[in-house]
Structure 1
Amino acid sequence: MLARSSDPEALSPDALSEVLQDLRLSEGSYGRCELTRPWGIDLPPVPQARFHFVVSGGCWLRAPKRGWLELHAGDVALLPRGTGHALADRARGRVKPLEEMPLEEIGDRVFDMRAGGAGARTILVCCSVGFAQPAVNPLLELMPPLLLVRGGGAEDAVLPALLDAMADEVLRRRVGAATVMTRLADVVITRVVRAWVESRTEETEGWLAAIRDPQIGRALAAIHRRPGEPWSVESLADVAGMSRSIFSERFAAVVGVPPARYLARWRMHVASGWLRDDRVTVAEAAARLGYDSEAAFSRAFKRFSGVPPSALRRQGRDEGSRAPRATAL
């Protein structure tokens, strides 16, 4: 477990690792965008995460609830929930819907876009990536709609090299680029999230504050590592090294929900993935998560999701356990 720290701003590295290890990408589409002024693209909401890396030049991003933000070479923008947004050569520039932009498929799920006028050039690497179930949903709910890392992450010497490797895969159009990009994106997105965590020193509540809190972070790590443990508020408070009452109060204040609610939500997300994607039986899921009976688990699952676990398992079987194909760019 973690060493105790008296510094309230100290990160809990092991807690962060336990949470981030569940960021698993299923598949994605990747594109090299060579854009010359004037240009603008309106990107609609999608169920996948979207990721933009400025290789050269610069652009503006119209972010949800944040207006127009200027991006420079080396900057990375990650929209974990695929929120609708826009990219343009200037703030409040005219934009066209993505479906009207010229896209050339140059490989399996790898695209090339060349658009704009005769002005200054910007090159972007843009990705649309799906997350494998089940673990990511609680994290996405707690993340902000936009994660922005300037200069590739000043404190992460490896991240710029990984981003350069992604750009190279798109630029060189080699066989198997989509497979390599998927592997790179898995690492890059995890490091982007970590770089963002490490750069946000002013946050005082929510998921980031929970990860920064050495004691609450220990409890979160324990929940993520062992969801089937017979956790109680008392046992989680012991992990955190706090009294039950103080732990409950701080956990709810920092995370936004009481510990029992977070634990139940996490277990049901884990179970959803097992049932839909891994073909685990309802009885096996119940046993793995420490429920006394299949009936008790089924009741809890239906309260959480609105449908019985057997229905979700049938749905996964009918769909052939296929993850949704990521949208181009």
Structure 2
Amino acid sequence: MDALAGLLDGPRARGAFLMRSVFDPPWSVRIQDHAPLTLVTMLRGTAWVVPDQGAPVPLRPGDVSIIRGPEPYTIADDPATAPRAVIHPGEHSTTPTGDELCQVMDLGIRTWGERADGMAVLLSGTYQLEGEVSQRLLRVLPHLLVLPAGALDSPLIPLLSDEMTKDEPGQDVVLDRLLDLLLIAVLRAWFSRPEAATPAWYRAHGDPVVGRALRLLHDHPAKPWTVAALAAGTGTSRAVLARRFTELVGEPPMAYLTNWRLALAADLLREPDATVGAVARQVGYSSSFALSAAFKRVRGLSPTEHRQAVGSPDLTPVG
């Protein structure tokens, strides 16, 4: 597993909300569903993404936009068009005055809008990301990015659009996986562009030594790593690995490992039947006390306090 794959393992779609929206101008939809990540692409026609803060951004046919929430935004045929519909949490839609729209604008399987052959068609896929690993990905993305149509050489958009109109056994799983593949393709294309603030860990993946070290840490976080053991795994010396890793990633290898382990632990602690001891062993700590001490030192709160903060039941610190 490389660094990008490790981070994307968190936002893997499970029952993601996918929809084809069809409109005739003038149209405008206010999105306030609090979703952490939404992918939107224009299948036909043009649109504007209008954030509450910042300038409107155009979407042309084939463009793909990733919008990082939970802040609300508007998608419209023109930035000046007032919203005609509002999308709330739980895939609930109303007029701006609160009248129900879900049934009124239902056009069939995963299709919503005014008429089936409208001038503008947009495809959207919404992720609900709650984990610490997911947050590591979200933090490196701008609030709004647009990948031009020509920058993505992939058959995934027409394939996803076609599959969205089907209602066959296992269809939700098929759509989730296609959405995952499209997100990965868009992120890889975006990170290769000069305007992208590419994170250090992504650039470092291309280094033959540091990239190998990152894959080892992501694949085997529970191993008793030392700089010497990691250097042996990459075929270089301790000094060379420590220097190159710090230069390319921005922190020493053991500091990176600690942060990665604690991010994984924070996700695992959300599980209602997890114990601190069991989680500790999964991420490379010898005991619940060792994990608790690291959690408190780095994050400023204990595993139990973290779990209470994210709304999970209390847990007993035993193995």
* Structure 1: distance between partners of 2:144 and 2:235: 30
Report the AA paired with residue 214 of structure 2. L
73, 81, 87: which one aligns with 1:85:
73
CA deviation after TM superposition for structure 1 residue 266, in Å: 1.6
After the TM superposition, which residues 94-173 of structure 1 pair with which residues of structure 2 at under 5 Å, given as runs? 94-96=82-84, 97-98=86-87, 99-101=93-95, 102-104=101-103, 111-115=110-114, 121-131=119-129, 133=131, 135-151=133-149, 153-155=151-153, 159-160=154-155, 162-172=156-166
Mind listing any 5+ residue stretches in structure 2 that lack a counterpart?
Answer: 88-92, 96-100, 315-319
Structure 1 vs Structure 2 CA RMSD: 3.7
CA deviation after TM superposition for structure 1 residue 50, in Å: 0.9
Note the alpha carbon deviations across 1:123-181, whole angstroms, 9 max, x for none: 011122224745322222223333433227533xxx33x32232223345667654432
279, 295, 310: which one aligns with 1:285:
279
CA deviation after TM superposition for structure 1 residue 56, in Å: 1.0
CA deviation after TM superposition for structure 1 residue 71, in Å: 1.2
Cα gap change, 1:286 to 1:169, in 2 (>3 Å): same
* Structure 2: distance between partners of 1:86 and 1:120: 19
Report the AA paired with residue 219 of structure 2. R
Cα gap change, 1:247 to 1:133, in 2 (>3 Å): closer
Q: Does 1:41 align with 2:29?
A: yes
CA deviation after TM superposition for structure 1 residue 199, in Å: 4.0
* Structure 2: distance between partners of 1:207 and 1:129: 23
Cα gap change, 1:141 to 1:201, in 2 (>3 Å): closer
Cα gap change, 1:226 to 1:296, in 2 (>3 Å): same
Please give the secondary structure, in 2, of the residue aligned with 1:276.
Answer: coil
Q: Which is worse superposed, 304-313 or 26-35?
A: 304-313
Cα gap change, 1:247 to 1:207, in 2 (>3 Å): closer
CA deviation after TM superposition for structure 1 residue 18, in Å: 4.7
**Contact 2:272 2:313 (C-alpha < 8 Å) held by counterparts:** no
Note the alpha carbon deviations across 1:45-65, whole angstroms, 9 max, x for none: 614321112111111113587
**Contact 2:201 2:248 (C-alpha < 8 Å) held by counterparts:** no
After the TM superposition, which residues 232-247 of structure 1 pair with which residues of structure 2 at under 5 Å, given as runs? 232-233=226-227, 236=230, 239=234, 241=236, 242-247=240-245
Please give the secondary structure, in 1, of the residue aligned with 2:125.
Answer: strand
* Structure 1: distance between partners of 2:81 and 2:17: 26
Cα gap change, 1:205 to 1:26, in 2 (>3 Å): closer
Structure 1 partner of 2:303: 309
Structure 2 partner of 1:266: 260
Compare relative contact order (CA 8 Å, sep 6+) and give the higher one, 1 or 2.
Answer: 1
Mind listing any 5+ residue stretches in structure 1 that lack a counterpart?
Answer: 1-12, 319-329
Report the AA paired with residue 191 of structure 2. V
After the TM superposition, which residues 206-221 of structure 1 pair with which residues of structure 2 at under 5 Å, given as runs? 206-221=200-215
Cα gap change, 1:44 to 1:202, in 2 (>3 Å): closer
Cα gap change, 1:107 to 1:258, in 2 (>3 Å): farther
Note the alpha carbon deviations across 1:90-136, whole angstroms, 9 max, x for none: 2444335434443338699x7543249xx971101112222474532
Report the AA paired with residue 190 of structure 1. I
TM-score by length of 2: 0.74
* Structure 2: distance between partners of 1:131 and 1:296: 28
Structure 1 partner of 2:98: none
Which structure shows the higher helix fraction? 1
**Contact 2:204 2:248 (C-alpha < 8 Å) held by counterparts:** no
Q: How many residues were matched structurally?
A: 295
